Amino acid sequence: MMGECSATLLDLLSRRRTVRLYTSDPVPEGHVRRLLEAAVLAPSAHNAQPWRFVVIETPEVKRRLAEAMAKRWERDLRRDGVDERTIAVELRFSLRRFTEAPILLLACLDMRDMDVYPDRARRKAEWIMGVQSVAAAIQNSLLAAAALGLGACWCCAPLFCPGTVRRVLKIPRRWEPQALITVGYPAHQPPVPPRYPLEEVVIWR
């Protein structure tokens, strides 16, 4: 039984893909809840469970969020000297990505229950532990999506405009936006992405 369960998990890990294009089919609310239930089963530093989530399913809210983030990104691209044609292409894809996905899950970090230290080094380490905890929750949700036949994509755009995201979604100031996960039924089958061989990323001692 243990071997069978392990094989099933390894198969799921190998089948998970980053999906960016979705059908227009709605995602059942029960499936969304299962993604969130899987997320909060993740391990976390001190069991502080610093993850917070916002489920975004209303078309108007998705549009306002996508447009606000695109406007901020456009400013950054122009500051970087990117040409107008490339900017137009990038912004068009960004708007499509976040408005056409049936569900958006915003993952946030809340340091409220994490440990507090007087020195900068330990405060930074504690914050990183919180970020890692949220990342583990996100990974759980991605695996749950794959198990349910859903596609998902982990997008870190909110890291570059946290104030914009907070303002549009009216979330608490202490919630630090970390990622937007787009969710829906896949409209394509992405190829297997290349991976570095273990020999390049592992040291044995």
- Per residue of the chain (205 residues), what is the pLDDT tens digit? 445 556 688 889 988 999 999 999 999 999 999 999 999 999 999 999 999 999 999 999 999 999 999 999 999 999 999 999 999 999 999 999 999 999 999 999 999 999 999 999 999 999 999 999 999 999 999 999 999 999 999 999 999 999 999 999 999 999 999 999 999 999 999 998 899 999 999 999 9
In angstroms, the CA 103 to CA 58 distance is 8
Which pTM value belongs to this model?
A: 0.93
H or E, element range at 146: helix 120-147
pLDDT at 192: 87
pLDDT at 8: 87
pLDDT at 2: 44
Residues 6+ away with beta carbon under 8 Å from 179: 106, 107, 134, 138, 154, 155, 156, 158, 159
Please tell me the CATH code under which domain 19-56+103-185 is placed: 3.40.109.10
Residues 6+ away with beta carbon under 8 Å from 17: 146, 151, 186, 189, 190, 192, 193
Question: Could you tell me where the beta strands, DSSP code E, fall in 118-175?
Answer: 151-155
pLDDT at 183: 98
pLDDT at 9: 87
How many Cβ atoms sit within 10 Å of the Cβ of residue 147? 16
